[in-house]
Structure 1
Amino acid sequence: MIPPLVTAAAIGLLLLGLACAVYMAWQMLRHPPKMAVMRFVWPLCALFAGPVLVWFYHRYAGPGAEDVPFAAKVAKGTLHCGAGCTLADLVCENLAHYVPSVLTFFGLGTIFSTEIFAAWTMDYVFALLTGIVFQYFAIAPMRNLSVGAGIKAAAKADILSLTSWQVGMYGFMGLAHFVLFPAFFGTTVDAGSPVFWAAMQLAMLAGFVTAYSPNWLLIRSGLKEEM
C-alpha cells in the first residue's frame, strides 16, 4: 500500500509541474518564439522539469537571452525531443490504463505476456511519430524543404534522439516498476496513481540525460537544427 504522505508528495510534484506548464504557456503567448513548434515544447517539458525548466528558459531562451552557449543550445534541442515523448506518454499511458484492450495491437498476448512491455511499445511508436512531426516543423521551414524531404530529414534527426531518450525513460520506469515500487510499497503502480506520474517526471529527466550526448552529435553534424 502506498503511504498517504507519498501520494500527497506526488500530487504536489504534479501540481508544481502543471503550474510551471501553465506559466510557460503564458510566456509563449506573451513572447512567441521564432520557431513556432517551441510554443508547445516549453509548456510540455515544464510538466516534468518544473522550476528548472522555467529558470532555463529565462536564462537561455526568453527575451533578452544573449550569447547562448552551445551546451544550452543542445539542451534546447534535447527538450524538443522530450516534448514529443511527454505528449505521447500522456496519451498512451492513459489509453493503456483506461482502454487496456488497445495493447493487443502492440503485442500483448502474442509477443508480450505483460502489459508494461506492450505499453512501452505503443509509447515508442507514438513518441516517434510525434517527434518526427515536431522535427518536421523545426527543420522544413528553416531549410525550405519539400514535404517529402522534410519528413526524411526529420526522421534522420529524431530517431536517434528519441530512442536515446526512451532508453533513459524506460530504464528508470523499469527500475521503478520491477524494483522500487514492489520494494517500498509491496505492489506495482500504474497510470491511475499520482505516484506513477511523479515517477514519470523523474524518468523524463533520466531520458534527458541519456539523450543529451546524441543530440550534441546530431546538432554538430548538421542533422538537427540548433534551437
Structure 2
Amino acid sequence: MLDGVMLLWFLMTGLALLFVAIDIRSTPESPVLKWGFLLLTAYAGVVGAFLYVLGCREPLPGLHERYTAVRWRQTLGSTMHCVAGDGLGILAGAVLSSVLSLTGLTEIIVEYVLGFAFGWTIFQSLFMRATLGGSYRRALAATFIAELLSMNLLMAGMLPTVAALRAHIASAENPLAPAFWFVMSMGLLVGFIVAYPMNWWLVANHLKHGMMTVRPAAVAANVMAGMDMPGVKTEMSMGAGGPTRPSVPAMALLSFLALIAGVVISFFLRHS
C-alpha cells in the first residue's frame, strides 16, 4: 500500500511542478522567490502548488502588490524562501551522510551545517544582495539572525518527522530508493509548518522579507499610479522596525530550545 501512496505522491508532484514551472513565468514575483516556489513544490508536491496559487499567483492583472501585502502571504514567502534554500543543503547532507554511513548526531550536524550554509550564504545573501545595497558582506550580516532562527525551527520540525518515518519504512535511508525522497519530502513539509510562526515574527519585525513584486519600470509606475495601496512596500526593509517584542535574544533562545527538543525527540523515535 505504501508503494502505491508514494507512486501517487511522485506522480502528483511531477504534475504540480510542471504547472508551477509554466504558470509562475507570468507572475510578477522576484526571480529568487520563483525558484523558491519551484523548489518548495518539488519538496511538498501539490501542497507547494496550492500555496503558490493561494499565496503568490496574481489573481487579476495589476493586483499582485495588494494581493501579497497581507501579513500571512508575506510570511508564506519568507518561510518558503527558507525551506527552499535550506532544503537543498539538508538533502545534500542526508545523501552525503548515507554515502559516508554517518548516523545519529553526526548526520544531524552535517545536515544542519550544509542546510544553514546554503540557505544563508547563497539563497539569502548571494541571491538577495541587490535588495540590500549590492554588498555581499552586508547581505551576510543582515540575514544571519533571520536565517539562524528560521533554520532552527525548520530542523526542529523535520528531524522528528524523518526519524518517525524511517523507523517504519524500509530503505528510507537509501538515496537510491524512492522511500528516501518521500520521507525527506514529508520532513521538509512538516518543517515548513513548524517554521511558519517564527517567520511571522521575523517578517512582523522587519528582520526578514516576504513576497516581492517585480515588474518592468513602466508597468510598475502605471500600477502604482492607479491604486491606493497603503502599507505596501516596494523595497525590502530589514532590521528597520525598531525594538522587537519579544527580543531577538529571547527568540533565538526559543529557537535553540525547539531545535534541542527536535533532536531529543528524533533520537527517542529512532531507538523506541
- Provide the residue aligned with 1:205 in structure 2: 189
Q: Does 2:2 match 1:6?
A: yes
Gaps of 5+ in 1: 104-114
Letter of the 1:83 partner, please give it.
A
Q: Does 2:44 match 1:49?
A: yes
Pairs within 5 Å for 1:17-166: 17-28=13-24, 30-31=25-26, 33-63=28-58, 64=60, 65=64, 66-68=66-68, 69-97=70-98, 99-100=99-100, 103=102, 115-132=103-120, 133-137=122-126, 139-166=128-155
Q: Distance in 1 between matches of 2:158 and 2:180?
A: 13
Q: Distance in 2 between matches of 1:137 and 1:35?
A: 14
Q: Distance in 1 between matches of 2:141 and 2:55?
A: 29
Could you say which structure has the higher helix fraction? 1
- Per-residue CA deviations over 1:83-113 (Å, capped at 9, x if unaligned) read 023212332322333x316x4xxxxxxxxxx
Displaced runs of 4+ in structure 1, greater than 4 A?
none
Equivalent residue of 1:37, what SS? Answer: helix
Q: Does 2:207 match 1:218?
A: no
What is the aligned length?
A: 203
Q: Distance in 2 between matches of 1:77 and 1:137?
A: 16
Give the RMSD, CA atoms, in angstroms.
2.3
Q: Distance in 2 between matches of 1:38 and 1:194?
A: 27
Q: Does the 8 Å contact 1:21/1:45 carry over to 2?
A: no
Letter of the 1:158 partner, please give it.
E
Q: Tell me which structure has the larger Cα radius of gyration.
A: 2
For CA contacts below 8 A with separation 6 or more, give which structure has more relative contact order: 1
Q: Distance in 2 between matches of 1:131 and 1:210?
A: 17
- Provide the residue aligned with 2:11 in structure 1: 15
Shift of 1:145: 4.7
TM-score by length of 1: 0.79
Letter of the 1:189 partner, please give it.
A
Gaps of 5+ in 2: 212-272
State percent identity of aligned pairs: 24
- Per-residue CA deviations over 1:119-152 (Å, capped at 9, x if unaligned) read 2221111110111121124643223152211111
Shift of 1:116: 4.1
